[in-house]
Amino acid sequence: MQTTSQPTIPIAAPLLSDEDKRRVLAVLESGHLVAGRWVREFERAFSGYLGAGHGAATSSGTTALEVILEVAGLVPGARVITTPFSFVATANAVVRRGYTPVFVDIDPETYNLSPDAVSDALRRTPGVQALLMVHLYGLPCRMGALMEIARRHHLIVIEDAAQAHGASVGTRKVGTFGAAAAFSFYPSKNLTTGEGGMVVTDDPGLAERARMLINVGQSSQYVYETLGSNYRMTEIAAAIGVGQLARLDEHNARRRQNAHSLTEGLQDLEWLTLPREPRDATHVYHQYTLRVPHHRDRLAQHLTACGIGTRVYYPTPIHRSPLYRRLGYGEARCPEAERAAEEVLSIPVHPALGEEQIQRIVHAIRRFDPRH
């Protein structure tokens, strides 16, 4: 296997501007490092960008999910339908709050929850109170079908939009369909604050409960209304987020252009399947994920040798992980999620890439011979 002397193209590369860095230095010099002006501004700007009424900043996407599950009104022990094909934080938040995840299979084309599988699970499973969907890789779920199912069954809808900042169905941004949504601002995300998250909702009561839970249960200083935690976002993180949000549409447009170039260069290769974008959805390509039956691991090794970063998101469905097997979920039937875990491979698509790097990725994949 040949190796390259060219610089490695990473799977992700956060873009921090000089203005982001100046803003961080200004926060440090001010001495006001905890939730304050910048956190309030970021909450207002991000929820406004989505078209939502309220935003409550948190320390991570994981804590945003936990807060939503705590304040959304589920009864103790409720069952929550969700996907097994996601980052484990989605299911962990359900379990940590004392609820029972019901793992439902995915659509093999979108990698998101299958509406048919959700309907089937509801027929077989009593006590389901919520639907926790994930807009995986930056592609919206089939919101029309899923929201209609939720309406018929009186389900609380929670969106895990950690990978889908700016994605939309028609003109409506994801994160605005359900009772609340959780976003993550981890460094690899379309919008980063280093670490951080956001609860977004149109429900003022839910937003108020979320803010109390995030801020150790306080309604005002030293007045504790509920058993809360310190899930606050820092001023440093929020100052970065304000600048990142101003460039989110630009960065997403570059991701989409990079994805278009990758698709144009690879679409005739019959041994792999490329991402698809439904007609009514806007994919923001948090990841550009190939499907490579039989040859996934060899292709990853080939690209590594060519100096191109890859990652498998995700190599083990949640229900098949050691923890969830011990918790009794290993027998869940999700064959499409299990097959996807054996075949998916994400390649660089982030906005720091130039056209020369995109073509280098395309040429490296085209040089791979699946027969050997």
Give 251-268 pLDDT, tens digit per residue: 999 999 999 999 999 999
Tokens for 317, please give them.
């469905």
Query: CATH code at 138?
Result: 3.40.640.10
Tokens for 320, please give them.
């098949």
Q: What is the pLDDT of residues 61-108, one digit of tens each?
A: 999 999 999 999 999 999 999 999 999 999 999 999 999 999 999 999
pLDDT value at residue 2: 56
- 261 and 359: one domain? yes
pTM: predicted TM-score of the whole model, two decimal places:
0.96
Report yes or no on 55 lying in a domain: yes
The letter for the amino acid at 126 is P
Residue 3 has pLDDT above 80, yes or no: no
Q: At which of 203, 221, 246 does a domain end?
A: 246
What is the share, in percent, of the chain residues with pLDDT greater than 90? Answer: 96
- 146 and 195: one domain? yes
Contacts of 269 (CB under 8 A, 6+ apart): 365, 366
Three state DSSP letters for 240-293: HHHHHHHCHHHHHHHHHHHHHHHHHHHCCCCCCECCCCCCCEECCCCCEEEECC
The count of structural domains within the chain is 2
pLDDT value at residue 5: 67
- 58 and 170: one domain? yes
pLDDT value at residue 173: 98
- 91 and 131: one domain? yes
pLDDT value at residue 6: 83
Query: CATH code at 355?
Result: 3.90.1150.10
Residue 165: DSSP 8-state = T
CA distance linking residue 42 with residue 49, whole number of Å = 10
Q: How confident is the model at residue 1 (pLDDT cuts 50, 70, 90)?
A: low
Report yes or no on 31 lying in a domain: yes
Query: Domain of 319?
Result: 248-367
Report yes or no on 2 lying in a domain: no
- 263 and 241: one domain? no
